[in-house]
Structures are given as C-alpha cells and as structure tokens.
C-alpha cells in the first residue's frame, strides 16, 4: 500500500519544512503544516512525489506525522498530533480536519462531512492488533446531513494476508497485511485493509469511513 503527496508545490514544501528550527518543530507542527496548504492535492492530476522526496521533506520535522487521503474527494493532507489521551491520539490538518487514532486505527473524524462520530471497535481492534484471523462485531456512528446520528452494526471477518514490508516517510518496518470484510443488514458492506507492525500498531490502512468519505487512506510517515 502506497500513497504520496503530489508534486505541485514541491519547492514550497521543502522550503517551509527546512525553515523550522529544531527547537520549535514539535511545538509548531501545525504552523508548519499551515504553510503547506498549496501542496494538498485537489485532484489536479499532478504526478506524486518520489519516495525520496517525501523522505527528505518529512525528515525535517521530528513530530509524528500521518498522510491522509479522502478517496471520495481526492483531497490529501499531512496531519500532526494535537492531543493525546492514553491510546487515543488526535491528529489535525492545517485546515481544521481531525482524526482520532487508537493504536493507529481511526476511530473518529471531524471536519470531513458525514463524519465518523464514534465507534465500538474493541473486539475488532484486538484481532487487528494481534494480526489474527477471526470474527468480531464493529459499530460505526455517522453524522447525517441533517445532523442525525446513524448507527451501523457490522460483523467483520479479519483475514491475514501475510507479511509485507512497510516504507513511508521515514518509517521502515516489517508488518502484516490484513483484510477486514464487514457486513451489515442496514449499512453498506465493505472491505478495509490494514498494515500492522509487530507491536500491534496500525501503520497504514484503507479504511471504509462512510458513504460520504468512502475510504480513508492513512499512512504513518513518522512515529
């Protein structure tokens, strides 16, 4: 699995990242990302950056970073952590969108439209983190266009796909690829995929995130 920041604004991206002093980077990560808005793809067909270019850019910020793409819109952005509560870490973009991750597994979103307001992922996440096959319940609660909460209850089958190398940003790891097939009487059936390292951390995913967002693709660029 591989997604990347697109080529538009490459020079601006590198210049903005390099301009940060090492003492300020961890504090002002969102300020830095605010200077990178022109780099976010709007589906203009620009060619993606080479992996070496992404590595060079991300290496300038010591903060954890994730690259996130909403497939239904073609929008892409780099997200930085803004809050941590135990295993839950909130990542935000410079434009105000946020995603909450639990051990690297996305559990909430805000600012995308049709957001995942909350989820009951305990049983599913246990299988994903253990990189084990099995069946688990999964509940997703979405916000409708009328600001009503829509609840979908799924039965999910986790199917290990075998070992895979992971390389994105400055992260290099041995991992396991998993497919998760979920069915529901009232919701949309879907297949998500997750790349999980030996510690049980989700490094990357193509995660179904509702009818408006479709798939949320996320990659760990720096841990």
Calculate the CA 132 to chain-centre distance. Answer: 21
Asked if 132 contacts 160 with a C-beta cutoff of 8 angstroms, the reply is: yes
Give the Cα separation of 130 and 92 in Å (integer): 27
Closest Cα to residue 5, out of 53, 71, 62? 53
Return phi, psi of residue 205, to 5°: -160, 155
Return phi, psi of residue 35, to 5°: -80, -5
90 by DSSP, 3-state: which?
A: strand
Half-sphere exposure of residue 32: CA atoms within 13 angstroms, side-chain side: 27
The pLDDT of residue 168 is 87
15 by DSSP, 3-state: which?
A: helix
Q: Is the pTM of this model over 0.85?
A: no
Calculate the CA 190 to chain-centre distance. Answer: 17
Give the Cα separation of 16 and 127 in Å (integer): 40
DSSP state for residue 218 in the 8-state scheme: E
- Digit-by-digit pLDDT tens for the chain (223 residues) are 433 333 333 333 333 433 433 334 433 555 545 544 434 333 444 444 455 655 655 777 778 999 888 887 767 778 889 999 999 999 998 788 899 999 999 999 998 888 899 999 999 999 999 999 999 999 999 987 777 888 999 999 999 999 999 998 889 999 999 999 999 988 889 999 999 999 999 999 999 998 777 899 999 999 8
Domains of the chain in start order, with CATH, are 10-222 (2.40.360.10)
Give the Cα separation of 153 and 184 in Å (integer): 6
98-102 and 88-92 beta bridge pairing: antiparallel
What's the angle, vertex CA 190, arms to CA 188 and CA 192, rounded to 5? 145
Give the Cα separation of 45 and 13 in Å (integer): 18
Asked if 92 contacts 106 with a C-beta cutoff of 8 angstroms, the reply is: no
């Amino acid at each position: 699995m591989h997604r990347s920041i697109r080529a538009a604004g490459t020079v601006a991206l590198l210049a903005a990242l390099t301009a940060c002093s090492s003492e300020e980077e961890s504090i002002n990560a969102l300020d830095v990302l605010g200077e990178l808005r022109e780099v976010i793809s709007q589906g203009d067909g620009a060619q993606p950056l080479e992996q070496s270019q992404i590595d060079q850019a991300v290496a300038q910020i010591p903060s954890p970073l994730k690259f996130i793409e909403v497939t239904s819109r073609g929008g892409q952005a780099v997200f930085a952590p803004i809050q941590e509560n135990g295993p839950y870490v909130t990542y935000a973009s410079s434009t105000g969108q946020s995603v909450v991750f639990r051990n690297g597994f996305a559990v909430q979103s805000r600012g995308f439209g049709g957001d995942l307001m909350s989820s009951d992922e305990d049983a599913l996440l246990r299988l994903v983190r253990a990189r084990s096959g099995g069946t688990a319940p999964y509940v997703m609660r979405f916000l409708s266009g009328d600001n009503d909460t829509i609840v979908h209850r799924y039965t999910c089958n986790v199917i290990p796909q075998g070992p895979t190398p992971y390389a994105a940003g400055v992260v290099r790891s041995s991992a396991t690829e998993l497919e998760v097939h979920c069915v529901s009487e009232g919701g949309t059936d879907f297949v998500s995929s997750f790349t999980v390292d030996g510690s049980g951390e989700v490094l990357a995913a193509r995660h179904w995130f509702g009818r408006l967002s479709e798939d949320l693709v996320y990659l760990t660029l720096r841990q």
